[in-house]
């Protein structure tokens, strides 16, 4: 839920990640959308945009978990210049309250839904297809992992777009919901969920 917060005050010893890939789905509840928004904000003029895309795609695709607040900044779960972390857990709640009051005193208003999110379209999807096929051909991932990767990439690249385009949050949410539900109906996804519930272990099928 912290991905949707206006500001996060984390503890230095933080464990956070988007690990849904392991049970055969992509992050729902706007998790994939929010990561795509952050990806867009990270892309700067003159940067090699596919490198930034690949970095954030792999954060979800490899279910990378941050084991500290500093690592959470590196992986994109926390935002530099916006989110903060504290060392003393006893002070965390009080510090968060001070930050919330500071936002209110500055005249906080609920952010409007964005329509300026840059997605790369087929430029990024090509990268996803090449990477997924290479990993599958080398027996590093299963066929189902490949399918999940491609659906995740489809959302994060903005769908079937021929060139980089600015899209809205609602557009990305629709893509995320569609691909999430498609994966929920896959037999191999259900087998992974059942394995986790019954044995506590991730099934690699």
For 122-183, the DSSP string reads HHHHHHHHHHHHHHHHTTSS-HHHHHHHHHHHHHHTTSS-SS-EEE-HHHHHHHHHHHHHHH
Q: What percent of the chain clears pLDDT 70, i.e. is strictly above it?
A: 100
Range of the domain at 17: 2-199
Residue 146 lies in a domain: yes
10-14, 19-23, 42-46, 63-67: lowest mean pLDDT where? 42-46
Residues 184-201 as b or e (16 or more Cβ within 10 Å = b): eebebbeebeebeeeeee
Residue 54 has pLDDT above 80, yes or no: yes
Residue 7 lies in a domain: yes
Residue 205 lies in a domain: no
Residue 204 lies in a domain: no
Position 68 scores a pLDDT of 97
Q: What percent of the chain clears pLDDT 90, i.e. is strictly above it?
A: 93
Residue 170 lies in a domain: yes
Position 140 scores a pLDDT of 94
Confidence of residue 15 (pLDDT cuts 50, 70, 90): very high
Phi, psi of 65 (to 5 degrees): -110, 125
Residue 132 has pLDDT above 80, yes or no: yes
Q: What is the CATH number of the domain that holds 24?
A: 3.90.226.10
Confidence of residue 6 (pLDDT cuts 50, 70, 90): very high
Residue 45 has pLDDT above 90, yes or no: no
Considering its fold, how many domains does the chain have in total? 1
Residue 138 lies in a domain: yes
Residue 123 lies in a domain: yes
């Amino acid at each position: 839920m912290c991905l949707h917060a206006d500001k996060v005050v984390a503890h230095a010893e933080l464990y956070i990640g988007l690990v849904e890939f392991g049970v055969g789905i992509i992050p729902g509840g706007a998790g994939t959308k929010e990561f795509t928004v952050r990806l867009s904000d990270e892309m700067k003029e003159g940067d090699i945009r596919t490198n930034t895309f690949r970095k954030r795609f792999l954060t979800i695709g490899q279910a990378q978990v941050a084991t500290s607040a500093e690592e959470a900044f590196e992986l994109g779960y926390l935002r530099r210049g916006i989110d903060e972390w504290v060392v003393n857990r006893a002070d965390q709640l009080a510090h968060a309250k001070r930050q919330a009051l500071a936002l209110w005193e500055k005249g906080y208003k609920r952010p409007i839904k964005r329509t300026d999110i840059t997605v790369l379209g087929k430029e990024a999807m090509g990268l996803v297809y090449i990477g997924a096929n290479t990993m599958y051909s080398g027996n590093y991932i299963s066929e189902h992992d490949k399918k999940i990767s491609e659906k995740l990439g489809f959302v994060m690249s903005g769908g079937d777009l021929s060139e980089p385009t600015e899209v809205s949050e609602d557009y990305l949410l629709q893509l995320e919901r569609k691909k999430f539900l498609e994966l929920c109906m896959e037999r191999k996804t259900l087998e992974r969920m059942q394995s986790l519930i019954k044995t506590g272990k991730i099934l690699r099928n």
